[in-house]
Structure 1
């Protein structure tokens, strides 16, 4: 256990408390004005959060994935064949999120927080929302903090399942 002291603008107090709660296991946060009464002093006792399961690395998650060009083609053909987006299945949103994640990974060393990263995060968050609303999925609590990591985990599991399905030979009697 350790103690945290933060001095911040009063308008930032709620944001700081929320960030502390996302980052640590925090007890009650006590708020006092500074001596000049222009800022807030926040005091909290906290503990490190237990480390959740780690997400697959992009190299592990996408090791056997088709090329980016191939996935762009699949995504385009799937959208073109659908009457509307509500008819698309989870596989589409998973593969689209993984595709956008892979494109953002190409951009990350040069341009952090660019359009590619924003699009990848938006697609990952959409997939996460779909899965959280579905009764058959158990989404880890920490997935909301790492939506792109969640996409990698789900893509790796989906791809592994797809490969097993491809190797099943039909029973020919």
Structure 2
């Protein structure tokens, strides 16, 4: 939280407050007559808006195959030959995304339940794989947040959404 002090003409008061409101979460606006300019001095308590660095589930999973398809793909993939590094990453990513969608309730009618803990565990496995892949500090990560970034460790499922959205866009 911080306080903003602005000296402006009385006629500009509303446009100034509207502009601040578009950029910050502001509280009550206190004002007094400004002796130096003849205008108003505004005192505003503000916070930065709460934003998430991650795509929303709707953004990350838009136009993706059904969860049932993803789970069947994962099952068949595991039954095949040993996974290459790239396929292992794809398997972990798609499985983590499916579990995330299930934990969010975005997979109705499956009859299978995934808890948020299941989704977080799968996300953590993906992050571990990405950070140890040997492809630099960000591993496979293609988004702004690497697997070892504090935002990623704070929200592993957000990391999955970031990576899945990028992977899906590149593999349509």
TM-score, normalised to structure 1's length? Answer: 0.55
What is the CA distance between 1:83 and its match in structure 2? 3.8
RMSD: 3.0
Structure with greater Cα Rg: 2
Alignment of 1:36-51 (within 5 A): none
State the SS of the aligned residue for 2:68.
Answer: helix
**Distance of 2:86 and 2:131 partners within structure 1:** 18
Residue 162 of structure 1 corresponds to 171
Unaligned runs of 5+ in 2: 3-46, 107-112, 139-145
Distance 1:149 1:87, change over 3 A: closer
Q: Indicate if the aligned counterparts of 1:56 and 1:153 stay in contact, CA closer than 8 A.
A: yes
| Bigger share in helix | 1
1:143 maps to 152
For 1:1-150, list aligned pairs within 5 A: 54-83=53-82, 88-106=87-105, 116-134=115-133, 135-136=135-136, 137=138, 138-139=146-147, 140-150=149-159
Deviation (angstroms), 1:62 = 0.2
Q: Aligned to 1:89, what secondary structure does the other structure show? A: helix
Cα distance 1:90–1:84, how it changes in 2: closer, same or farther (>3 A)?
Answer: closer
SS in 1 for 2:105: helix
CA spacing shift, 1:92–1:115, aligned 2, 3 Å: closer
Counterpart residue number, 2:31: none
Contact 2:102 2:114 in 1 (8 A): no
Corresponding residue pairs, total: 112
Which shifted more, 74-83 or 143-152? 74-83
Question: Which segments of 5 or more consecutive residues in structure 1 lack a partner in the other structure?
Answer: 3-47, 108-113, 164-173
Structure 1 ranges of 4+ moved more than 4 A: 84-88
Closer, same or farther: CA 158–85 of 1 in aligned 2, 3 Å: closer
CA contact (8 A) 1:61 1:153 kept: yes
Q: Deviations over 1:119-141 (max 9, x none)?
A: 10100001011111123424333
Q: TM-score, structure 2 length as denominator?
A: 0.56
